């Protein structure tokens, strides 16, 4: 495992832990913005660099800039975190995160759902090169 993969695993672990703590305290039933603000607050208290509603450029396959999308959380300039507050994650939510990863050319993302009694966290990797 290289340094980049170790760092991504470390960040994902921190984000997962913070999400679990936020969900344990807030439970389910709030709007997504409440969980987003909680995550930003808690991550910053730990010294993690995090931006919310951060504009990330989207490129066409030839490199042409198409515009921006706004990541719910962008952690340490390398991890996109998409937050949901719904009963269950569906294929559209997964497609949304994968589209963000593909078009922004960022490899790593987390999809987190606070809207159910049980917290949902799933990591996605979108890379051109296979990881061993």
Q: What is the CATH number of the domain that holds 21?
A: 3.90.320.10
Asked if residue 83 belongs to a domain, the reply is yes
pLDDT higher than 90, residue 98: yes
For residue 129, the model assigns a pLDDT of 60
Distance CA 57, CA 42 (A): 26
pLDDT higher than 70, residue 77: yes
CB atoms inside a 10 Å sphere around CB 99: 13
pLDDT band at 105 (very low <50, low <70, confident <90, very high): confident
Cβ atoms of 21 and 42 closer than 8 Å: yes
Asked if residue 130 belongs to a domain, the reply is no
Asked if residue 17 belongs to a domain, the reply is yes
Give the residue from 114, 21, 131 showing the smallest Cα distance to 72: 114
For residue 130, the model assigns a pLDDT of 54
The single residue listed with the structure tokens 């999809």 is: 111
Using a cut of 0.85, tell me whether the model's pTM lies above it: yes
8-66 pLDDT, tens digit each = 999 999 999 999 999 999 999 999 999 999 999 999 999 999 999 999 888 888 989 99
Asked if residue 107 belongs to a domain, the reply is yes
Domain total in the chain = 1
Mean local confidence (pLDDT), 91-104: 92
| Mean residue pLDDT across the chain | 94
For residue 57, the model assigns a pLDDT of 87
Give the domain range for residue 68: 3-125
Asked if residue 131 belongs to a domain, the reply is no
Residues linked to residue 120 through DSSP beta bridges, in sequence order: 113
């Amino acid at each position: 495992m290289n340094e980049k993969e170790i760092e991504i695993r470390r960040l994902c672990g921190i984000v997962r832990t913070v999400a679990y703590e936020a969900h344990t305290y807030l439970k389910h039933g709030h709007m997504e913005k409440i969980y987003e603000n909680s995550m930003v607050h808690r991550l910053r208290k730990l010294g993690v660099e995090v931006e919310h509603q951060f504009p990330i450029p989207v490129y066409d396959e030839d490199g042409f800039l198409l515009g921006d999308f706004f990541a719910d959380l962008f952690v340490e300039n390398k991890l996109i975190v998409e937050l949901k507050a719904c009963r269950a994650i569906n294929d559209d939510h997964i497609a949304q995160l994968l589209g963000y990863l593909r078009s922004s050319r960022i490899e790593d993302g987390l999809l987190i759902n606070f809207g159910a009694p049980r917290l949902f966290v799933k990591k996605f990797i979108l890379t051109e090169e296979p990881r061993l």
